[in-house]
Amino acid sequence: MHTGGERSLGHDDLTWLIGGPQGGGINAAAEGFAKAATRAGYRVIANIEYHSNIMGEHSYYRVRVGRSGHRNVSERVHVLVALDDETLVGERHAAFPGFKGHVQEVVPGGAVVFDANDGPGEHGADVLLCPVPYLELLEEALKGSSREGQASRLKVMTNTVAVGASLALLDFDLARYQDALRAEFGGRRADLGELNAKAAALGYEFVRERFADGFAFRLPRVSPPKGKPPMLIRGAYAAAMGKLKAGIGFQSYYPISPATDENVYLEAHQRDQGLVVVQTEDEVSAINMAVGAAHAGVRASTSTSGPGLSLMVEGLGFAAMTEAAGPVLVLWSRGGPSTGLPTRHEQADLRFALQPGHGEFPHLLVAPGDVHEIVRDSYEAFNWADRYQMPVMVLVDKALGTTFITTEDLGLDRLPPVDRGPRFREGGNGDADYLRYDFSDGIVTPRSVPGQAGGIYWSTTDEHDPRGHITEDAENRIRMQDKRMGKLELALREIPSDRFLTLHGPKSADVTIVSWGSTKGAILDALDILAREDKVKANFLQIRIMRPFPVSAVTAILRAAKKTVLVECNYDGQLGLLIREQTGIAMDQSIVKYDGRPFSEEELMDGLRHVIAEGPGRLMVSHRLG
Amino acid sequence: MATVLKPRDYKSDAHINWCPGCGDFGIVNAIQMALAELQLPPHKVAVFSGIGCSGKTSHYIHAYGYHTLHGRVLPVATGAKLSNKDLTVLAVGGDGDGYGIGSGYFVNAGRRNVDITYVVFNNSVYGLTKGQGSPTLRKGLKTKSMPEAAIQDGVNPLALAVSSGYTFVARAFALDPRTLASLIAAGVRHRGSSFIDVLQTCPTYNDLYTAEWYNHTQSGGPRLYRLSETGYDGKVKDPSDADEVVAKKVQAITKSYEWGEKIPVGVYYEVDLPTYEDALAERNPRYGREALVDTDFSDRDLSPLMDALR
């Protein structure tokens, strides 16, 4: 199935995969390599898969490297680096084995770097086997240092031996990786940086001398970009950047995977960025603190995952009912339901995020599809929260949050200005006249904040009159509900139409793929492949703002579409349900995936080729990756 | 300040719809008296309330008023106070609100020691839902609206507050608003989380803990007595003395179990410790200099963050 032509792709499309036990240094090894490759002038996308476990379970990092850059990962592994036996052959004792080891993913002409004590397992033909004595080489690296003889205790450092070994196959500039290692270990641990650099060199030399000759897949020196090297960023950091740029002052959170990455990143920057991050006792407390902060006039946010949102919904209703200017809630979706798959991927919270709570209340829901869109949407969410005085939810997911990608620029200089929305000014109308929930003049009332003279108001989660006192009067109820819900219409009118959706690719096409969120990168890559290899003219409707829903724009595009294919990482095809509810239009076909992993390039292509060739109406795809 | 603020300056024009004779009146009056005693400009005060009869309190006070969610008043008040440390923040709620549905927040607010004052209207019943037993109703008791006696025991809010970390713990009586007002004022003056459990009558649903019950024991005298009149001293003299802190906590907890013929009111425990805001200011000096809400973040420099990713 893989032809010799594959080899000629060489350094423009190379997948390097490292696997091992959780706690075995997978992250450091892969991120070190990914960073070194970025600095060397390559573009990288790096995706981690891991268990809800601290130590021992199988985790792996897939790093795809090239000159032009991919937006999704591939199953075709060119170099496999195994830190343990399970990476090679899968779990030998699994009761219901699905994953049978990564060796089977290695392409002809590819290589496997593994511990000389392990057997490589069943592998395809034409795979280069590189057994490396990890521990012996580590012992040698420690020789003569203050840590001599401690190889068993420092066994985690065998990861650098293994990475170094793999770099010899790739003809990759070892010094760049060593620089990344030294940068990782600063200060009192600087000697460890040096020892790691030495360990990497020993692995490198071992393989260079024995195996590297004639290996076809290479990442030779290229001229790196001038000026500052690009960034290697993941969605979790992108969200934090957007929030910081927007002027966030307060973030509250309860620890939960996969939202913790963003929360901890912000927590680490409290001193230099001046924000307050509070770790609360649960998600109920987190959202309510954020609502209190928003009412106090600070740009406030909280970030959580599905189980956390289940607890937070009461607070969202509170924010909307009292017309707080926020908070911004970033939902890092994971595999559900209930505790579900805590560290795995799924896009199954869309329907929930559309109606997060009882009763009818306004909120804005936006679902960015890549790191740039995350920066933009996390930033602008605060403008919308202030302008419309309602909570704003940014729906992202585990794959977006954890996947690293090379980028030069986050677009921070091209963001719209900060908009704090209508504010009450002292003396504007005098204490006695100020009505916080006035419905006589527009639907968004200028807001005062506590501490402001002349701006005293009351607010309540009960239905209330313009002054904010409780009333159950029928006429008042109608006008107040019209005021609140009318903000959705206002947002639909005011927010530029290109913020709601994007039609990628040709305006007219034979196939229109419809999706949202993190599938964006996979679909954009697929459009290129369909055009290049299948001669299929396809385009992609990406819907980004889900509430208020851009009914007329979506209707116009879908009416003109010849064949629609829905792509989502959930069981129901939830965006398809939303489109049908809002426009009356049903998708022709759908590709769904709910195995807890994002689409690989091959899974999506298999799915698209199948349904385009008149496959079933609904197709579930999964290659049962590890 | 030219004009002297009176309790009536803290009265809103909202219609009060509590039952005639409700203990809540005494508490809202006491809050207004305390604010007048402290001469706080109304716009510098924010009152947060939970859900239930007591939840309506924020509407009746002329100050920024936030009638929030059942049990969640402390997180909301905490978020607001941390966002504007110059505000005087009062949180109020019932015993069901604070010790039942809000018990997790009650405990964790104590751990933080944010500079807020929390007043709990403790009447041992859920009034607004027509008289079910609440978290302070003891096992075996049955009010007139309950079909059966309680078979789960009551919580001891003072002991829970002391062990949770509140730095000012007091008990007062709703029908003695003058004493209550001075305790609330002391709680507001105290830097840190102040907690005042207010014994309160519910003339409609609680026929056990009535005004008569509080005012007359079987032997005739009042049931309530002031701790200060017995030489009790709950204040920690040297907060750095761990032994003294523990001794004063144990003393307060022991005292909190005195319930029956005699019930003590007043300050059970008090200690001066750094607040959560102090810790934030230590971490970031700008937080100590200006309220978060007044901080201009438009000069944020994200280039070091981006450079770290290169």
B306 touches A at CB < 8 Å: yes
pLDDT digits (tens, 9 = 90+) for A446-460: 999 999 999 999 999
Give the integer Cα–Cα distance in Å for B1 and A592: 68
Q: Is residue B1 part of a domain?
A: no
Q: B172 vs chain A: nearest CA distance in angstroms?
A: 27
Tell me the chain A residues in contact with residue B64 when contact means C-beta distances shorter than 8 Å.
450-451, 455-458
pLDDT tens, residue by residue, B271-306: 999 999 999 999 999 999 999 999 999 989 999 999
Calculate how close chain B gets to A458, using CA atoms only, in Å: 4
Residue B2 lies in a domain: no
Fold of A498-620: Rossmann fold (3.40.50)
At B105, which helix (H) or strand (E)? helix B103-112
Report chain B residues whose CB lies below 8 A from the CB of A412: 302
Nearest CA in chain B to A469: B59
The span from the CA of B7 to the CA of B33, in Å, is 5
Question: SS3 helix, strand, coil % of chain A, rounded to 5?
Answer: 40, 20, 40
Distance between CA atoms of residues A399 and A567, nearest Å:
15
Identify residue A307 by its one-letter amino acid code: P
CB contact, 8 Å: B105 with chain A? yes
pLDDT band, residue A353 (cuts 50/70/90): very high
- For residue A515, what are its two tokens? 């999706």
Helix (H, G, I), strand (E, B) or coil at B220: coil
Residues of A with Cβ-Cβ distance to B295 under 8 angstroms:
249, 274
> What pTM was computed for the model?
0.97
- Residues of B within 8 A of A284 (CB-CB) are 72, 75, 104-105
Digit-coded pLDDT (tens) for A267-315: 999 999 999 999 999 999 999 999 999 999 999 999 999 999 999 999 9
pLDDT at B1 over 70: no
φ, ψ for residue B187, nearest 5 deg: -65, -40
Q: Are A71 and A524 in contact (CB under 8 A)?
A: yes
* CATH number, domain with residue B26: 3.40.50.970
* A5-210 belongs to CATH 3.40.920.10: yes
Q: Do B83 and A244 touch (CB under 8 A)?
A: no
Could B69 and A315 be called an inter-chain contact, meaning their C-beta atoms sit closer than 8 Å? yes
Identify the domain containing residue B258 by its residue range. 7-307
Strand order in the sheet with A545-547: A276-279, A250-253, A300-304, A328-333, A392-397, A364-366, A545-547
Kindly report the average pLDDT of chain A as a whole number: 94
CA–CA gap between residue A231 and residue A222 (Å, rounded): 18
Inform me whether the C-beta atom of residue A237 falls under 8 Å from chain B C-beta atoms: yes
A19-54, pLDDT tens digit by residue?
999 988 899 999 999 999 999 999 999 999 999 998
ipTM score of complex = 0.98
Instruction: Tell me the nearest-neighbour CA distance from A553 into chain B, angstroms.
Output: 35
| A498-620 and A234-414 share a CATH fold | yes
Least confident of A337-351, A378-392, A419-433: A419-433
| A173's tokens | 């500039």
Domain total for chain B?
Answer: 1
Count of C-beta atoms within a 10 Å radius of residue A339: 11
CA distance A608 to B4: 77
Neighbours of A435 (CB within 10 A): 17
Closest CA to B82 of B283, B237, B267: B283
Selected from 3.40.50.720, 3.40.50.970, 3.40.50.1100, 3.40.50.2300, the CATH number assigned to the domain covering A234-414 reads: 3.40.50.970
Please compute the mean of the pLDDT values over residues A234-251 and round it to a whole number: 98
Q: Domain ranges for chain A, please list them.
A: 5-210, 234-414, 431-494, 498-620
Please report residues of B whose CB lies closer than 8 A to that of A274.
Answer: 284, 286-287, 295, 297, 300
